[in-house]
Amino acid sequence: MIVPHPRLNLLVPLCTVVLCPLLSSPIRAATNENTPVPAITIRKSDKSELSEVLQVIKKNYADPAAVSETTLNAAALEGILRKLAPGVQVLDQKEIIAALPRFSALNPHFEIVPEDIAYIYTGNITPSTPGFLETTLASLPVTVRGLVLDLRFSQGTDLKAAAQSASLFVGAGQPLFRVKNLKNEDIQLYSSEKAARHNLDTPLVLVVNRETAGNAEAFVAALKEQRRALIIGVETSGKGAQFSDVALSSGRILRLATHRIVPNNGLQIFPYGLTPDIAVAMTSEEQMKALLKARSGKVQDVVVETVTRKRLNEASLVRNENPAYDQAVENQRKAREKETGPGREPPEKPVRDLVLQRAVDVIKGIQVLNLGTH
């Protein structure tokens, strides 16, 4: 029998909650796949019905071994882990290693890309991040017309550093995010400590991916809530929570979320992650390859094509399209085909950061719109 760890306040026997993880969805019996299975819904509010169903199953099911105390406890735990994932996990040593981030964030980096757009890669948000950002922002040329802040692969647990970093982009005294406990009570509120720098009256785009996690998600959510930035990429990891590990007698650990990070407006980070304003599909492997390529040369190497293309216009920005970019890629493809002949290897496909390219295009589009209003 699986026994709850004594350090956790799990006083209800698991066998009494075997159906709890499935209460909000139909429960189906295991039958031949060709046999129609009627759906049975157990109402959450009807506790007596839940107990009644369990008792009848235990006393009358055709295969007693399938409804033994041990089997029901195992089924209950499996359902709970599935229902609450990734907030609750039971991990062995191999799974602990597998749960580590697949990629490590690169070191912070700053560069000006063509058309006066500043690019800043934050790396992991640590106590040194606010100082790095403040120094970098203070050094921006007055000609800068947009800022891309890249938080891909950024992870961390230091919420104070995240709040101090976000403070550089919003007004003083603005609520940023809060930490809630198991009772949904606020245990700490983080607010901006200083006013945004005077030279930040420019379009701001945040770039994220599935590896953006923890305090980096809190940072992104704070700026999103303040309507200070556009978010581009894919959904973040959803690990905007504080986790605790409890050692089990089996040698495995129980890892569970004990506190949630919640933006001031109630936007949910945990467990599903933040949804970008503009989605751009690109695998984590492809993104890391592009980032490394940029570090070996310049960021513009992965966002600026060798073929000259037209400036993004208003219509393309509204439709979330870039026909000029698509045409440039097609022209490059045709040029490569001409270079490839019998017995000759096709040239290596150039590394392109499609997510960062879209971020740059959005800022250029905003520049076009701003020029049109003056």
Nearest one of 202, 373, 358 to 279, comparing CA atoms: 358
Average pLDDT over residues 242-256: 93
Average pLDDT of the chain to the nearest whole number? 81
251 or 39, which is more confident? 251
Nearest one of 250, 277, 299 to 109, comparing CA atoms: 299
Instruction: Report pLDDT for 319.
Output: 58
% of the chain at pLDDT higher than 70: 74
Instruction: Report pLDDT for 314.
Output: 57
Average pLDDT over residues 232-240: 94
Taking the C-alpha atoms of residue 223 and residue 125, their distance in angstroms, rounded to an integer, is 15
Taking the C-alpha atoms of residue 187 and residue 209, their distance in angstroms, rounded to an integer, is 29
Instruction: Report pLDDT for 154.
Output: 97
- Are the C-beta atoms of 355 and 287 separated by less than 8 Å? yes
- Are the C-beta atoms of 5 and 253 separated by less than 8 Å? no
**Is the pLDDT assigned to residue 213 strictly greater than 80?**
yes
Instruction: Report pLDDT for 53.
Output: 86
User: Which residues fall within 8 angstroms of residue 30, CB to CB, at 6 or more apart?
Assistant: none
What band does 86 get if pLDDT is binned at 50, 70 and 90? confident
**Of the given ranges (20-24, 123-127, 305-309, 318-322), which has the lowest mean pLDDT?**
20-24
Taking the C-alpha atoms of residue 238 and residue 373, their distance in angstroms, rounded to an integer, is 38
Nearest one of 138, 137, 142 to 119, comparing CA atoms: 137
- Written as six digits, the tokens of 293 are 């390529």
Average pLDDT over residues 161-168: 94
Instruction: Report pLDDT for 288.
Output: 96
What band does 168 get if pLDDT is binned at 50, 70 and 90? very high
Average pLDDT over residues 28-54: 59
pTM value is: 0.74
Instruction: Report pLDDT for 30.
Output: 40
Instruction: Report pLDDT for 1.
Output: 39
Residue where the block lists tokens 């109402």: 43
% of the chain at pLDDT higher than 90: 47
Average pLDDT over residues 34-46: 55
Q: What are the pLDDT digits (tens) for 12-37?
A: 333 333 333 333 333 333 444 444 54
Longest Cα separation, the chain: 79
Q: Reading across the β-sheet that carries 109-113, which strands appear in turn?
A: 109-113, 117-121, 146-150, 204-208, 230-233, 278-279
**Is the pLDDT assigned to residue 52 strictly greater than 70?**
yes
Q: What are the pLDDT digits (tens) for 170-194?
A: 888 889 999 998 788 888 999 998 7
**Is the pLDDT assigned to residue 108 strictly greater than 80?**
yes
Instruction: Report pLDDT for 76.
Output: 86
117 or 331, which is more confident? 117
